[in-house]
Amino acid sequence: MGLLPCLRRGSDRWWLPQTERSTDAIGHLLLMDRRSDSVSNPLLDGSVRERVSEALQSDPAYLIFVTLSYPDPGPVELNQLVTWHAHNITGQIASGDAFLGAPKITPMIEKRWRKLTDHFRTIPTSRWMEDASLWLEATGPKVSNTWRQQWPLVQMAPETPSNVNSGSNNHSMLQELARSVQHQKSLESAFDARLHNEKLAAIKQLAYGLSHEINNPLANISTRAEQLQRGETEPNRTATLQRIIDQVYRAHEMIADLMFYANPPQVEPQPCVPSELLAEVTGSFEQEAERQAIQLQVSAESSTVDALEQEFTADTTMVKEAVRALIRNAIDAIGCQGTIIVSLQNDLEHVRIVVADSGPGLSDQAQKHAFDPFFSGREAGRGMGLGLCRAYRIAKLHEGDVSLSGRPSGCIATLTLPRLTGT
């Protein structure tokens, strides 16, 4: 058994049990609120009104909770109380302190609640509020006479035998809840898609601005540094100028990566052999890996005899860039003295290129945002920047995917591409 939101007066708090009856009634009110066009004016249909009214007249704790939540003293008709309750229950439950400091429900409290339930069954519903303090004081301080005098007086409807079976329509509420959850997921999916499109549009606008406003100064800096370098004879100054040139090209490449992410070129599919493509890309890193004492190993496995050598259709240039980005991320993570294993896993439908490294692992946050532009994981030794988001974009352009899985140490990046790209 749970608790209804607390009742407050000053610093004092009281708690009442949430029964199956009250749960059913509140559940239908929340569903009604979700279907309503206006949060402040929910559409209270007859069946829900009858269900809530029946629950209030059969559940003492529920009636006490709703009555004492009602803000105005004096007489209030049951029908009016139901309407007010329907308008306000969502906010009561969603309140940040609705369940703050709730007491632990002990067997002694449950026993007292059962005795109170038995007692209230012996008295008319119209007299329930006279003994309401017995319920409140089961989990809270003594109720003051001043507060009791301010309690609303509920004018009950004529008591008739209940024609609502508390369990007969539970399946309908569950069905409505399921549909509500399904609708919520649909809204979240649509929101994510819209957010992604708007993010791409914003990045595209930023990339165009950067390309026009920054590339020209970068070109002037690079040209001037190259001119100075040609006439320089002092080795240290020559090396300094080369570093300037290298950093300029790095900045230019970052802008190009951002532009590629926001507005990629058209995919130009052509036949290529996956093992040959992988050999070419890994070969370009051999010298760098050797300088940094990194063992760069290549392995291949296949579920069919000929799959390794079978051609698949892809934009070869783009796929090479994606694989380079994954290997570059692994090298940056390791720094020096480590191992990178690049493997090719093939079958008749997909080509999977897996890059596993012995560098620092990935946090949950890094795994979630690794493919976002300019997200940096350098606190874990990984400068993700734009390389991985470029790889992600290439994978999606080929109707494939790229994923990262972190381990206590190391990371596994997997690029999955279909053998036939539908572009």
User: Per residue in 101-144, pLDDT tens?
Assistant: 888 899 999 999 999 999 999 989 989 999 999 999 999 999 99
Which numeric CATH code is attached to 185-262?
A: 1.10.287
Q: Which of 317, 335, 319 is nearest to 383 (CA)?
A: 335
Note whether 59 and 22 are within 8 A (CB): yes
Angstrom distance (rounded) from CA 56 to CA 72:
18
- The fold of 270-418 is Heat Shock Protein 90 (3.30.565)
**In this predicted structure, what is the pLDDT of residue 382?**
47
Q: Which of 132, 190, 115, 140 lies closest to 3, judged by CA?
A: 140
Q: What is the pLDDT of residue 263?
A: 74
Could you give the 3-state DSSP secondary structure of residue 106?
coil
Residue 227's Cβ-count burial label (10 Å; 0-12, 13-18, 19+) is exposed
What residue segments make up the domains of the chain, in order of their start?
2-168, 185-262, 270-418
CA 282 to CA 300: how far, in whole Å?
13
**The two domains 185-262 and 270-418 share their CATH topology (first three levels equal):** no
CA distance 310 to 308: 6
Ranges of residues in the chain with a pLDDT under 70 are 33-44, 157-177, 179-180, 183, 196, 200, 203, 300-310, 369, 372-386, 407-408, 420-423
User: 246: which 2 tokens?
Assistant: 């290298």
pLDDT at residue number 177: 66
Cα–Cα distance between 26 and 47 in angstroms, integer? 13
End-to-end C-alpha distance for the chain, whole angstroms: 57
Say whether pTM exceeds 0.75.
no
User: What's the rounded Cα separation, in Å, for the pair 412 and 128?
Assistant: 65
* Residue 206: C-alpha distances to residues 71, 200, 214, 261 (Å): 53, 10, 11, 11
Instruction: Give the pLDDT confidence score for residue 305 in this predicted structure.
Output: 43
Task: Give the model's pLDDT for residue 68.
Answer: 95
* Neighbour count for residue 107 (Cβ, 10 Å): 7
CA distance linking residue 104 with residue 112, whole number of Å: 14
Rounded Cα gap, residues 59 and 18, in angstroms: 9
